[in-house]
Amino acid sequence: MIVLGIETSCDETAVAVYDSARGLRSHCLYSQVATHAPFGGVVPELASRDHIRKLLPLVDAALARAGVVPGDLAGVAYTAGPGLVGALLVGATVGVGLAMGWGIPAVPVHHMEAHLLAALLEDDQPTFPFVALLVSGGHSLLVEVAGLGRYRILGETLDDAAGEAFDKGAKLLGLPYPGGPELAKLAGCGRSGRYRFPRPMLKAPGLDFSFSGLKTALALKVRELEAAGPLADDTRADLAADYQQAIVDTLVGKSVRALDATGHRQLVVAGGVGANRALREQLRAELSRTGGTVYYPRTEFCTDNGAMIAFTGYRRLELAPAAYSSVRVEARPRWPLEELTGS
């Protein structure tokens, strides 16, 4: 079964071809970073317009790179939500239009489910059940994944997402958009231990997160230090290192607690913040100490991509082909993960 996957939920236009017999055949991505950089964040209308410009050429490129023609496809999967509604509508209408024209089913995919399953694209992959730490720009969740579509939310952020904490921290340190990777880079040049930041909710029982207090602590520290003049480069790097360390300690502490609470030994890390090297190293070290195993999608599949959409579309189509027989364009800006059902 060969499935085309389309991702347009935010600021990446991405298309991929997944083949159940041969694995991932191609994946193409166009990032809108340069479009949004002058504005310091994603501008929804510009995102939609850019998806319109880039999507069909990317579909052609992904098919050509895979050596696949439309007649080989069993379905077209597209991200139906959650995300920016205008951006979602571009992928949904193009996906459904192509599927109709080619006479095959269109499969609406939940973006967060796709992130959860992205690690299954790798050779070294987890088996159900596992715990997933899903940390992106819009979400921070700990999820028990019992099987396809069998998700139980164990904990979530009460305010900012982990990616947002990185992005807002980056802004406070004067770094350009997109902030997360920039802050991580700066932190790599600094030494941690000079500034004390809170580990939000790490002492509190339960598995929820909260990052807005940490962001406020950084804002106050920056203001205090700036009273004596502009920050020196080494000060900014040390602030970044300690701020990143506080986020990483919190995510690692809660992840270990989620494994203990469920009795599962496998942790899957997904979403853009999963690309963070400090987080990956600390989780690997901590889990090898406690007898668990951590799995990651390859770095480029931690952030938004078409491969995870094509793969999830394939798994959904295989599970319930009859569910996709009618033509319907779905774009759901809000779509709770727990509404999904499955195997």
Binding site for ligand KG4 (CB under 6 A): 10, 136-138, 163, 166-167, 178-181, 184, 271-273, 275-276, 303-304
| Minimum separation from the CB atom of position 280 to ligand KG4 (A) | 9
Residue with tokens 């990317």: 58
Residue with tokens 């935010």: 10
Which x/- pattern, by CB under 5 A, does the window 261-300 give for Zn ion?
A: ----------------------------------------
304 interacts with Zn ion by CB under 5 A: yes
3-state DSSP call for residue 239?
A: helix
273 binds, among ligand KG4, Zn ion, none (CB under 5 to 8 A by kind): ligand KG4
Tell me the one-letter amino acid at 200. Answer: P
Residues 90 and 45: beta-carbon distance below 8 Å? no
User: Nearer to ligand KG4 by C-beta: 20 or 35?
Assistant: 35
Residues 192 and 278: beta-carbon distance below 8 Å? no
User: Nearer to Zn ion by C-beta: 31 or 293?
Assistant: 31
190 binds, among ligand KG4, Zn ion, none (CB under 5 to 8 A by kind): none
7 interacts with Zn ion by CB under 5 A: no
Residues 107 and 78: beta-carbon distance below 8 Å? yes
Burial 301-324 (b: 16+ CB within 10 A, else e): bbbbbbbbbbbbbbbbbeeeeeeb
User: Nearer to ligand KG4 by C-beta: 116 or 275?
Assistant: 275
Query: In this chain, which stretch among 133-141, 176-184, 201-209, 242-250 interacts with Zn ion, using CB under 5 A?
Result: 133-141
Burial 53-81 (b: 16+ CB within 10 A, else e): ebbeebbeebbeebebeeeebbbbbbbbb
User: Nearer to Zn ion by C-beta: 257 or 280?
Assistant: 280
| Minimum separation from the CB atom of position 157 to ligand KG4 (A) | 12
| Minimum separation from the CB atom of position 62 to Zn ion (A) | 19
